[in-house]
Amino acid sequence: MANRQRYEAGQDLLSPNRNFAPLTSEVDEQGLLNVGGCKLSSLAKRYGTPLYVLDETTIRAACRAYKDALIKHYPGPSLALYASKANSSLALSCVVASEGLGLDAVSEGELLTALKGGVPTNQIVLHGNNKSDQELLLAYENGIRIVVDNQHDIDRLSQLVKPGKRAAELMLRFTPGIECHTHEYIRTGHLDSKFGFDLDQLESILIQLKGESWARLSGLHAHIGSQIFELEPHKDLTGVMVDALILAREIGHPIEDLNLGGGLGIRYLESDDPPSIEDWVKVISNGVKVACESKNIDLPRLLCEPGRSLIANAGITIYTLGSRKEIPGLRTYVSVDGGMSDNPRPITYQSSYTACLVDRPFDRAAEKVTIAGKHCESGDILLKDLSLPFSKSGEFFAVFGTGAYNSSMGSNYNRIPRPAGILVKDGQSDLIQRREQPEDLLQYDILPVRLIELG
Ligand SMILES: Cc1ncc(COP(=O)(O)O)c(C=O)c1O
pLDDT digits (tens), the chain, 455 positions? 568 999 999 999 999 999 999 999 999 999 999 999 999 999 999 999 999 999 999 999 999 999 999 999 999 999 999 999 999 999 999 999 999 999 999 999 999 999 999 999 999 999 999 999 999 999 999 999 999 999 999 999 999 999 999 999 999 999 998 877 665 666 665 678 899 999 999 999 999 999 999 999 999 999 999 999 999 999 999 999 999 999 999 999 999 999 999 999 999 999 999 999 999 999 999 999 999 999 999 999 999 999 999 999 999 999 999 999 999 999 999 999 999 999 999 999 999 999 999 999 999 999 999 999 999 999 999 999 999 999 999 999 999 999 999 999 999 999 999 999 999 999 999 999 999 999 999 999 999 999 988 76
Return the sign of the alpha-carbon dihedral for residues 334, 336, 341, 342. Answer: negative
211: number of Cβ within 10 Å: 8
Q: Please, what is the end-to-end C-alpha distance for the chain in angstroms? A: 65
Ligand 1 close to Cβ of residue 226 (< 6 A) = yes
d(CA 391, CA 121): 49
Nearest CA to ligand 1 atom 3: 261
Ligand 1 close to Cβ of residue 429 (< 6 A) = no
Q: In what order do the strands lie in the sheet with 5-6?
A: 5-6, 26-27, 33-35, 38-39
Question: To test the ligand 1 pocket, which listed residue (84, 148, 223, 308) has its Cβ within 8 A of the most ligand atoms?
Answer: 223
Ligand 1 close to Cβ of residue 309 (< 6 A) = yes
Question: To test the ligand 1 pocket, which listed residue (305, 309, 349) has its Cβ within 8 A of the most ligand atoms?
Answer: 305
d(CA 352, CA 319): 17
What is the reported pTM?
0.96
351: number of Cβ within 10 Å: 17
Is 63 among the residues known to form the active site?
A: no
Ligand 1 close to Cβ of residue 305 (< 6 A) = yes
d(CA 204, CA 202): 6
Tallying the residues shown for the chain, one arrives at 455
Ligand 1 close to Cβ of residue 308 (< 6 A) = yes
Radius of gyration of the chain from Cα atoms? 24
CB-based contacts of 60, cutoff 8 Å, min separation 6? 95, 99
Ligand 1 close to Cβ of residue 307 (< 6 A) = yes
What residue type is 129 in one-letter code? N
Pairing of the two strands 420-425 and 396-400: unpaired
Question: To test the ligand 1 pocket, which listed residue (107, 226, 230) has its Cβ within 8 A of the most ligand atoms?
Answer: 226
